[in-house]
């Protein structure tokens, strides 16, 4: 796919700043996720595929909206006529078949997504285009045009809508793509009381599938950076133990657990070759250990007189760890991968937990009770350099376990704002909150690239 | 207060007995073993509690003036008293192991079961007899013995762990053994020793739990600290450490799910469960 220049000055600024250590202040940084080209999206129609266009149009619109990259023009503001092919454009029209009709009020758009679908050879073909309607010339206005293929049913329509939306989002410079990314989580749906299993779903909440059938309490998953290995903690054998499975085959991978009352809280290094975890193998407090991905070659990292859990390796600097620890009530600490230079990162207020690195290695999301009663966590984001932070959720129940999407723009988290714990995604400025689960109780989401 | 008129000790019935005995003795003395002169003694009893007592005195047969037992109903192990009075007998016997007795007397008996005593008076004119029955009842059952003291019915390991062992409770974000937890665990130490004696191959899980407020991951560590602290305390009291396995459940297996201190306290606990 050809890559075009980034069109949003705001987005470009956010990208540049994310790559430098001295970026904008944290509030500006999270607001940059609201960088807003004004995008008009027509209602696509189908020729022989019309029965599936409701699913297509809602999927396309939701993907584009939840990306947070655009201000979507309300459909009531759109001109009467829609172009379906580039050759439909005229120099002057007044009702939608001229580029200028989209740039002027009431639409006032900067960009237009248009096209159509048709049944072709028993399959569904989508012809999707993206134009910059501020341009005069239809040739130079077109950012891309592409043919997509799917099955001639709702599933095929949803598939091509995702792919087309992803291409549009990519045009606006997301650091990664959500297409094909999946969210791993734990759910008690269909399990005996007290038991939880690992599940996976598409990033928009569709296609939920059960991955483990251990018939036990199983929890706290984490995904390798390449999305091929899933690590979690299970009580299937009595004491909490670490287990790894392949996300492609579902098979259990070899992993050696040290003799300990507790081995838990796994996370992977950026190269996926090692894991950090919390263990009582020293027969004392839970402390941070590092081992190869098969559990061999384990080594104690820290020697501190406090509970240590949730080691998280900086994706851009494998020598830096964030952990959750004391003394006193739980806070987030930074240390080297050798367990040195221990420094408290959060300011000691309330209780802080669940650090999750942004792909830039400069920021992290976390859960914090600051300003609320004990146990009432909200999602915050902090700049590791300046220690500035910004609050993204505001006391809508308990909000915990934030983890970043591969695109660095979305956060998935658990909230009980509906009464029971469910999984939500939001844009990293706290907007575009979407509930992704509604069957049973669901928690501990992590976002994998596949 | 005990200034009782001696006359009142005798009930009317007893007064009649006494009179009869006196008259009987007079009759014996009058008889003197000689043939009566034809004049019969003006004795007109029968008396209470006698059977087969003749209405008149045949010339040569003894007379059983009375034969009775008091009380007539006893519990097993208690005693009763037989009382009798016979005139004109060469020999008086009572069966059921009492044997030959004087013509007048009493005897304490402790029958193991309900017994009918038969008194037989033998004289020159023949035998007469009378009976008296004492009914023996069983004593009431004692209270059931405490279950924990019975080795014959030690129950299952699960039932013993559930009934004999108490949870130890903790403060928020703490694994310190409080005074109330100290008392619970001291009790548990003795109970554990008995359970291990009754189940020589069993091991017991010591679970660490937390309330819902801290993060799940941190609570996993805290639950481990609680179960370990409780186990160390039990070890000091002589409980074999190798038979107790600590398992932290963090806040993943709460015993209640309300959001208030009462429920939070119930969940901040070290809890025992049957191992293998």
From the list B213, B245, B249, the residue facing A375 with the nearest CB is B213
A212 and A155: one domain?
A: no
d(CA B148, CA A359): 62
Q: How many CA atoms, within 13 angstroms, populate the side-chain half-sphere of residue A12?
A: 8
Question: What are the structure tokens assigned to B41, written together?
Answer: 């003694």
B257: part of which helix (H) or strand (E)?
Answer: none
Q: What is the pLDDT of residues A140-185, one digit of tens each?
A: 899 999 999 999 999 999 999 999 999 998 888 654 568 789 999 9
**What pLDDT score was predicted for residue B37?**
47
Beta-sheet pairing, A111-120 with A46-47 = parallel
Q: Are A188 and A282 in the same domain?
A: yes
A20 domain-assigned: no
Q: Which of A126, A151, A171 is the last residue of a domain?
A: A171
Residue A11 lies inside a defined structural domain of this protein: no
Residue A425, both tokens: 């995604």
Look at residue A52 in the predicted model and tell me its pLDDT: 96
pLDDT band at A19, cuts 50/70/90? Answer: very low
Q: What is the ipTM of this complex?
A: 0.80
Which of A246-260, B61-75, B137-151, B232-246 has the lowest average pLDDT? B137-151
Domain count, chain A: 2
Confidence class for position B141, pLDDT limits 50, 70, 90: confident
- Joined tokens for residue A141: 């206005």
Mean pLDDT across the stretch B12-34?
45
Q: Are residues A193 and A157 in the same domain?
A: no
Answer whether residue A284 is part of any domain: yes
Among B124, B104, B125, residue whose Cα is nearest residue B58: B125
A&B contacts, CB < 8 Å: 93
A343 with A334: CB under 8 angstroms?
Answer: yes
Q: How far apart are CA A400 and CA A354, in angstroms?
A: 7
Q: In chain A, what residues touch B221 (CB-CB under 8 Å)?
A: 262, 278, 285-286, 307-309
The CA distance from B253 to A84, in Å, is 57
Nearest Cα of chain B lies from the Cα of A395 at a distance, in angstroms, of: 14
From the list A414, A326, A309, the residue with the least C-alpha distance to A365 is A414
CA distances from A160 to A63, A123, A167, B53 (A): 12, 11, 11, 123
CA gap B236, B230 in Å, rounded:
10
- What is the per-residue pLDDT for B22? 45
Upstream peptide bond of A106 is cis (omega within 30 degrees of 0): yes
Nearest CA in chain A to B205: A238
Q: Going edge to edge, which strands form the sheet with A331-336? A: A308-314, A317-325, A331-336, A343-344
Nearest to A284 by CA among A258, A303, A267, A311: A303
User: Residue A278: which of B211, B215, B221 has the nearest Cβ?
Assistant: B221
CA distances in angstroms from B33 to A148, B39, B43, B60, B62, listed in the order given: 145, 15, 17, 9, 12
Candidates B218, B222, B224; nearest CB to A261: B224
Q: How many CB atoms lie within 10 A of CB A2?
A: 5
* Residues written for chain A: 450
Q: How does pLDDT run across A292-316, given as a tens digit for each residue?
A: 999 999 999 999 999 999 999 999 9
**Same domain as A311, residue A413:** yes
Answer whether residue B14 shows pLDDT above 60: no
Are A205 and A336 in a shared domain?
Answer: yes
Domains in chain B, please, with CATH?
A: 13-26+44-137 (2.60.40.10), 154-274 (3.30.1330.60)
Interface check for B227 against chain A (CB to CB < 8 A): the answer is yes
Q: Which residues does chain B have within 8 Å of residue A240's beta carbon, measured at their own beta carbons? A: 220, 247-248
Mean pLDDT in residue range B144-149: 52
- Quickly list DSSP for A137-170: SHHHHEEEEEEEEEESSHHHHHHHHHHHHHHHHH
Cross-strand partners of B108 = B81
Instruction: Please report residues of A whose CB lies closer than 8 A to that of B246.
Output: 239, 261
Domain presence at residue A112? yes
Kindly report the nearest CA distance between residue B249 and chain A, in angstroms.
8
B215/A contact by beta carbon, under 8 A: yes
pLDDT(A277) > 70 = yes
Residues of A in contact with B220 (CB under 8 A): 220, 233, 240, 262, 264-265, 278, 286, 309
Is A30 a member of any domain?
Answer: no
Confidence of residue A8 (pLDDT cuts 50, 70, 90): very low
Give the pair of three-digit tokens for residue B24: 């009987």
Residue A88 is given by DSSP the state: G
The answer to whether the beta carbons of residues B224 and B248 sit under 8 Å apart is yes
Put simply, whether B242 touches A (Cβ < 8 Å) is no
Alpha helices in B125-178 (DSSP H): 157-164
Beta partners for residue B134, in sequence order: B115
The single-letter DSSP state of residue B95 is T
Phi (first) and psi of residue A313, to 5 degrees: -85, 135
CA distances from B186 to B165, B179, B181, B193, B233 (A): 10, 10, 8, 11, 9
Considering all CA atoms of chain B, what is the largest pairwise distance in Å, rounded to the nearest integer?
119
Cα–Cα distance measured from residue A361 to residue A320, given in angstroms and rounded to the nearest whole number = 10
Residue of chain A nearest B276, judged by CA positions:
A238
Task: Count CB atoms within 10 A of the CB of residue A52.
Answer: 23
What are A308-361's pLDDT values in tens digits? 999 999 999 999 999 999 999 999 999 999 999 999 999 999 999 999 999 999
Query: Is A339 part of a structural domain of the chain?
Result: yes
CATH number at residue A43: 3.40.50.10070
Whether chain A has a CB inside 8 Å of the CB on B256: the answer is no
Whether residues A206 and A264 fall in one domain: yes
Tokens at A14, concatenated: 């956010």
Q: Strand A308-314 vs strand A299-300: parallel, antiparallel, or unpaired?
A: unpaired
Task: State how beta strands A343-344 and A331-336 pair.
Answer: antiparallel
State the Cα–Cα distance between residues A374 and A276, nearest whole angstrom: 28
Q: Find out whether A153 and A186 touch, Cβ atoms under 8 Å.
A: no
Instruction: With CB atoms and an 8 Å threshold, state whether A261 touches B214.
Output: no
Q: Does B253 touch chain A (CB under 8 A)?
A: yes
Sequence-distant contacts of B157-162: CB under 8 A, at least 24 apart = B157/B195, B157/B199, B157/B202, B157/B274, B158/B274, B160/B195, B160/B198, B160/B199, B161/B195, B161/B204, B161/B272, B161/B273, B161/B274
| CA-to-CA separations, A129 to A79, A151, A419, B85, in angstroms, rounded | 17, 20, 42, 134
Phi, psi of A92 (to 5 degrees): -140, 135
Whether A9 maps to a domain, the answer reads no
Q: Domain span at residue A136?
A: 38-171
Mark whether A258 and A138 lie in a shared domain. Answer: no
Query: Residues 6 or more apart from A253 whose CB is under 8 A from it?
Result: A229, A244, A245, A246, A294
Using the predicted structure, report yes or no on whether residue B51 has a pLDDT greater than 60. Answer: no
Tell whether A198 and A63 lie within a shared domain: no
Task: Note whether A84 and A187 are same-domain residues.
Answer: no
The answer on A198 and A164 residing in a single domain is: no
Say whether both A223 and A146 belong to one domain. Answer: no
Q: Which two tokens stand for residue B162?
A: 């559930």
Choose the final residue of a domain: A143, A171, A199.
Answer: A171
- For residue B200, the 8-state DSSP code is T
Rg, Å, chain A Cα set: 24
User: Looking at the domain assignment, is residue A52 inside a domain?
Assistant: yes
Helix (H) or strand (E) holding A53: helix A53-66
Residue B3 has pLDDT above 70, yes or no: no
Q: Are residues A286 and A418 in the same domain?
A: yes
Q: What's A281's domain CATH number?
A: 2.120.10.30
Give the residue from A171, A205, A226 where a domain finishes.
A171
CB neighbourhood size of B143 (10 A): 6
């Amino acid at each position: 796919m050809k890559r075009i220049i980034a069109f949003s000055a705001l987005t470009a600024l956010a990208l540049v700043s994310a790559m430098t250590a001295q970026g904008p202040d944290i509030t500006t940084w999270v607001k940059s996720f609201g960088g807003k080209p004004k995008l008009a999206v027509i209602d696509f129609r189908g020729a022989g595929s019309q029965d599936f266009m409701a699913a297509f149009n809602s999927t396309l619109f939701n993907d584009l909206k939840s990306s947070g990259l655009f201000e979507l023009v309300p459909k009531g503001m759109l001109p009467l006529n829609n172009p379906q092919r580039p050759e439909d454009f005229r120099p002057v029209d007044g009702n939608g078949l001229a580029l200028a009709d989209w740039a002027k009020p009431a639409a006032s758009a900067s960009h237009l997504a248009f096209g159509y679908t048709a049944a072709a050879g028993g399959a569904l073909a989508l012809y999707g285009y993206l134009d910059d309607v501020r341009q005069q010339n239809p040739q130079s206005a077109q950012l891309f045009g592409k043919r997509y293929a799917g099955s001639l049913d709702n599933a095929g329509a949803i598939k091509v809508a995702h792919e087309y939306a992803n291409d549009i989002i990519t045009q606006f410079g997301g650091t990664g793509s959500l297409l094909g990314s999946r969210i791993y989580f734990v759910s008690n749906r269909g399990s005996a009381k007290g038991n939880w299993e690992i599940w996976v779903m598409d990033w928009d909440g569709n296609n939920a599938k059960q991955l483990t059938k251990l018939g036990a309490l199983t929890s706290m998953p984490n995904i390798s950076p390449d999305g091929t290995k899933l690590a979690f903690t299970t009580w299937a054998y009595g004491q909490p133990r670490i287990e790894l499975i392949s996300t492609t085959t579902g098979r259990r991978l070899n992993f050696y657990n040290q003799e300990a009352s507790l081995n838990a809280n796994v996370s992977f290094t950026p190269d996926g070759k090692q894991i950090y975890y919390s263990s009582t193998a020293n027969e004392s407090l839970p402390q941070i250990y590092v081992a190869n991905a098969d559990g061999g070659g384990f080594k104690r990292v820290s020697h501190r007189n406090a509970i240590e859990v949730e080691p998280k390796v900086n994706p851009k600097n494998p020598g830096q760890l964030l952990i959750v620890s004391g003394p006193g009530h739980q806070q987030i600490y930074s240390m080297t991968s050798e367990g040195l230079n221990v420094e408290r990162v959060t300011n000691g207020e309330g209780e802080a937990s669940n650090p999750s690195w942004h792909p830039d290695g400069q920021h992290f999301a976390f859960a914090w009770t600051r300003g609320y009663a004990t146990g009432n966590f909200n999602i915050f984001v902090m700049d590791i350099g300046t220690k500035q932070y910004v609050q993204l959720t505001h006391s809508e129940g308990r909000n915990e376990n934030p983890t970043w999407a591969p695109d660095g723009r979305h956060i998935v988290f658990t909230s009980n704002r509906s009464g029971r714990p469910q999984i939500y995604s939001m844009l990293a400025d706290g907007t575009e909150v979407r509930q992704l689960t509604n069957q049973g109780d669901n928690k501990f989401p992590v976002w994998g690239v596949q | 207060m005990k200034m009782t008129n001696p006359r009142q000790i005798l009930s009317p019935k007893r007064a009649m007995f006494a009179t009869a005995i006196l008259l009987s003795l007079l009759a014996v003395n009058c008889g003197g073993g000689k043939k009566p002169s034809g004049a019969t003694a003006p004795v007109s009893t029968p008396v209470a509690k006698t059977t087969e007592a003749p209405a008149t005195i045949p010339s040569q047969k003894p007379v059983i003036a009375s034969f009775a037992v008091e009380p007539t109903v006893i519990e097993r192990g208690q005693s009763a008293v037989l009382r009798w009075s016979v005139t004109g007998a060469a020999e008086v016997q009572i069966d059921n192991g009492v044997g030959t007795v004087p013509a007048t007397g009493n005897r304490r008996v402790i029958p193991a079961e309900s017994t009918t005593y038969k008194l037989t008076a033998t004289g020159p004119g023949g035998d007469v007899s009378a009976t008296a029955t004492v009914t023996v009842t069983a004593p009431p059952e004692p209270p059931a013995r405490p279950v924990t003291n019975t080795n014959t019915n030690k129950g299952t390991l699960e039932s013993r762990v559930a009934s004999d062992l108490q949870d130890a409770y903790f403060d928020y974000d703490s694994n310190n053994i409080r005074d109330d937890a100290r008392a619970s665990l001291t009790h548990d130490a003795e109970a554990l020793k008995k359970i291990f004696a009754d189940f020589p191959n069993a091991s017991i899980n010591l679970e660490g739990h937390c309330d819902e407020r801290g993060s799940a991951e941190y609570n996993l560590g805290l639950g481990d600290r609680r179960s370990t602290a409780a186990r160390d305390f039990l070890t000091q009291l002589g409980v074999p450490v190798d038979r107790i396995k600590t398992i932290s459940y963090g806040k993943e297996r709460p015993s209640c799910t309300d959001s208030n201190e009462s429920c939070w306290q119930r969940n901040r606990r070290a809890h025992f469960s049957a191992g293998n």
